[in-house]
Amino acid sequence: MQLTVASGKGGVGKSSITASLAYLLSKSRKIVALDADADTPNLEILLNVENWKEKRPFEGERVAVIDPKKCTGCGICALHCPYECIYPESGYYRVNEILCEGCNVCSIVCPHEDVISFKPTVPGYVKWGITSYGFPLVTAELLPGRPNSGKLVFEAKKRAKQFERDLLLIDAAAGIGCSVIASLNGSDYVLVVVEPTEVSLFDAERLLKIVNHFGLKAVAVINKFDVNRDFSERLESHFEEKGIKVVGKIPYDRSVVEALIRGKPVVEEYPGSPFSKALERVVQSLEELL
């Protein structure tokens, strides 16, 4: 069983909600959590992994290298590079190794032999550890500026599935790009987190197009619903019309930031808070679905 938390828009509460969901769901099921926000993974701050049991480099990637002694400075490689990451540098050309995705274009168009070669590179890591709540957390961690977060997320998912738990709970990245698509793939349910703003709805709609495209099932949760009740009501009827069940409405609650600062899931640190009560109802609804 795979449940993926996504939103399109960033900063709407995916990680706070995922951490609390993981805490509550782990009481009744065997779960593994996956932080698939490879650019900026933060779930570990809330789920408290003391020791990473394993940190495996993401291998198989490579970058082009231009030999400055042999390069004649013709610049044909730079003209053809689809990533536009080759730059002139005092008489020769240099590959920006951070941006290079390792395609063969520069080496094919280079008129000389042996000027351009490839070397292996590590754009990120897949790591895992046991959280202080007893279940494992797998994290995809991309190094700053590097490409291929989608492939990295696929690797991390493979690792997470090896735990053979009943439920794989994924915290996806913001956006709707390759890493989010990699996260959504194989979901039994996608939990779409949305705030009552036009911006959040716009991004959620874009996400839902992909969810539908893959034939996945989505449910929604409205976060901070009470900051704009009118819009929240519109959201509810909008989702209902589309056949998307709203499994929860979470009020704005200062304890979310407080718990974040203390590095704990809200439901553990402030069990009686409005956020926690709403989350418990979300879990009840999810349990019925799952």
Partner 1 sequence: MIISVSGGKGGTGKSTVSTNLAILLKEFTLVDLDVEAPNDHILLNVNLSEGIPVKLFKPKFNHEYCTGCGKCAEVCNDNAIVLNREGKPILLEDLCAGCTACKLICPERGAIEDDFKVVGHIYENKTPYGFKLITGELLEGEERTYKVLLETKKRALKEGGNLIFDTAAGAGNSIFKALEGSDIVVAVTEPTPFGARDLEKILYTTSYLRLKTVIVINKSGVGDEEEILSLSERYGCPIVGRIPYSEEIIKCYFSKTPIVNTDLPEAKVFYEIKERILEEVKCS
Contacts with partner 1 by CB under 8 A lie at 8-12, 15, 37-40, 42, 45, 62, 80, 82-84, 98-99, 101-105, 108-109, 142, 144-147, 149-150, 173-178, 180-181, 197-199, 202-203, 206, 209-210, 213, 227-228, 231, 257, 260-261, 263
Comparison of 143 and 290: residue with beta carbon closer to partner 1: 143
**Complex with partner 1: residue 174 or 219, whichever CB lies closer:** 174
The one-character DSSP state at 173 is: P
Quick check: helix, strand or coil at residue 47? helix
CB distance 137 to 35 below 8 Å: yes
Residue 84 has which token pair? 């536009």
Name the nearest CA neighbour of 42 among 190, 173, 152, 148: 173
Q: Which are the contacts of 254, defined by CB distance < 8 A and separation ≥ 6?
A: none
* Alpha-carbon distances of 2 from 79, 161, 199, 258, rounded to whole Å: 44, 10, 27, 29
Nearer to partner 1, 167 or 207 (CB): 207
Kindly state the smallest distance separating residue 105's Cβ from partner 1, in Å: 5
Task: Rank residues 55 and 213 by Cβ distance to partner 1 and give the closer one.
Answer: 213
CB 148, min distance to partner 1, A:
8
Residue 81 C-beta: closest distance to partner 1, Å: 9
E strands, the chain, are: 2-6, 31-35, 49-57, 61-66, 86-89, 92-95, 116-121, 124-131, 136-142, 167-171, 189-194, 218-223, 245-250
Shortest approach of partner 1 to residue 200 CB, angstroms? 9
Give least dist CB 257 to partner 1, A: 5
Nearer to partner 1, 12 or 168 (CB): 12
Residue 14 beta carbon to partner 1: minimum distance, rounded to whole angstroms: 8
What does the buried/exposed string (b/e) look like for 120-139 if buried means 16 or more CB atoms within 10 Å of the residue's CB? ebebbbbbbbbbebebbbbb
Closer CB to partner 1, 175 or 286, in the complex: 175
DSSP state of 225: G
